[in-house]
Amino acid sequence: MGQRTDAWVLHVDLDQFIAAVEVLRHPELAGRPVIVGGRGDPTERAVVSTASYEAREFGVGSGMPLRIAARKAPDAVILPVDAGAYTAASARVMETLRGHPGAVVQVLGWDEAFVGVTAAFPEATARDLQREVLESTGLHCSVGIGDTLLRAKVATGFGKPQGVFRLTAANWMPVMGERPVTALWGVGSRVARRLAAHGIETVAQLAGADLDVLVGEFGPRMGPWYRLVGRGEGSRVVDDTPWVARGHSRETTYQQDLTEPAEVEAALRELVAHVLDDVAAEGRPVIGLTLKVRYVPFTTKTFSRRVRPPTSDHDEVLAHVLDLAAKRDTGRAVRLLGLRAEMPMPDEAREGHTPTRSGW
């Protein structure tokens, strides 16, 4: 009797992607702590985009202020972000994955993708993908294997770095049951605090939670969804439909605090121009705006509105943004401004629907 062949979801996640790309460009940095962020100057306001494993041993992590990272790892090499190089490297990786026989590839970002395969031995397929990516790009990756997208995504964390791990219905609870809910994809610290208020702290507790309690806390859509997440369930289909942006955003951390109204307005005008350039390339109008304001020292507020009727007109969008900015605390200095413009999806634009605005 022949070996049974099943459909599997593989989650391919490149190890320390940005730092690894930089080491490929600068081989002399191999084995050294490498930090990438901002313009590579720790005296400026910027955050860490990524850190090599060597830098992580000093406690450096993504999102950390660059100046703090430099203090934690004084011998680290700090490099500026080069988005073009990372985009090109990512494209080569995704092309390699698509070249694997029978693979269906759903890109999640620069450094990760789901790959749908049919295989009798998914671990062997995972090792093949690792080898193919390494040979074509020089980059290492870890691979999670699952019978759902969620399980494959979570499994990757157990395989890092350069490893392979399988999570299925058979071993989900033995592996995940006693772990905190924050170990789940899609459950952050805020949701965890809300769950903890109901005595739900572990994956097993979430999987067995009373549905009425979850619906009461999170609503009729998200409540049941969180229980499914706790059980590792969800979609089993890898979708290679090209990704379409629902919105575009830009934000800037200013090296000098903005204290005068004229400075804030000039900064907002520049943000609007950049965001509308991105939106124009999509050929869809703006239906929603979210303005992010980070005050000194580090308090962040957001202000949002729907845009009715939808518009692509620069002056109209700018007027909306200036109205939102008028809601800020004008007595506080500003260190960061961000703007997100929401657009209808192509099918919604054709049908005249206005979807619910997503978060920042």
φ, ψ of residue 252 in degrees (nearest 5): -135, 130
Lowest mean pLDDT among 191-200, 225-234, 348-357: 348-357
Q: What is the pLDDT of residues 329-359, one digit of tens each?
A: 999 999 999 999 999 988 765 444 444 434 4
**Region 1-166: CATH code:** 3.30.70.270
Detail the DSSP E strand segments found in 86-198.
Answer: 104-109, 112-119, 141-146, 164-167
Round to whole Å and give the CA distance between 286 and 307.
7
Residue 326: how many CB atoms within 10 A of its CB?
Answer: 10
Least Cα distance to 85 among 17, 7, 154 occurs for: 17
Region 20-46 average pLDDT: 95
DSSP label at residue 243: P
- Specify the pLDDT at position 348: 64
Least Cα distance to 51 among 36, 69, 63 occurs for: 36
Tell whether the model's pLDDT for residue 76 goes beyond 80.
Answer: yes
Detail the DSSP E strand segments found in the chain.
Answer: 6-14, 34-36, 50-51, 77-79, 104-109, 112-119, 141-146, 164-167, 247-258, 286-295, 299-311, 334-342
7 or 358, higher pLDDT? 7
Q: Do the domains spanning 1-166 and 172-231 agree at the CATH topology level?
A: no
Strand 286-295 vs strand 334-342: parallel, antiparallel, or unpaired? antiparallel
Tell whether the model's pLDDT for residue 245 goes beyond 90.
Answer: no
Round to whole Å and give the CA distance between 63 and 243.
25
User: Are 45 and 90 contacting, i.e. CB atoms less than 8 angstroms apart?
Assistant: no
Active-site residue, 351 included? no
Q: What is the pLDDT of residues 120-167, one digit of tens each?
A: 999 999 999 999 999 999 999 999 999 999 999 999 999 999 999 999
> pTM, whole model, 2 decimals?
0.82
User: Are 49 and 62 contacting, i.e. CB atoms less than 8 angstroms apart?
Assistant: yes
- Specify the pLDDT at position 1: 41
Which of 22, 54, 112, 342 is catalytic? The answer is 112
Q: What is the pLDDT of residues 87-104, one digit of tens each?
A: 999 999 999 999 999 999
- Specify the pLDDT at position 351: 46
| Superfamily, domain 172-231 | 5' to 3' exonuclease, C-terminal subdomain (1.10.150.20)
- Specify the pLDDT at position 89: 97
- Specify the pLDDT at position 145: 98
Q: Would you state the structure tokens that stand for residue 293, as one six-digit string?
A: 């304001």
Round to whole Å and give the CA distance between 343 and 353.
11
| Superfamily, domain 247-351 | DNA polymerase, Y-family, little finger domain (3.30.1490.100)
Least Cα distance to 49 among 75, 24, 25, 85 occurs for: 85
Domain ranges for the chain: 1-166, 172-231, 247-351
Round to whole Å and give the CA distance between 344 and 68.
40
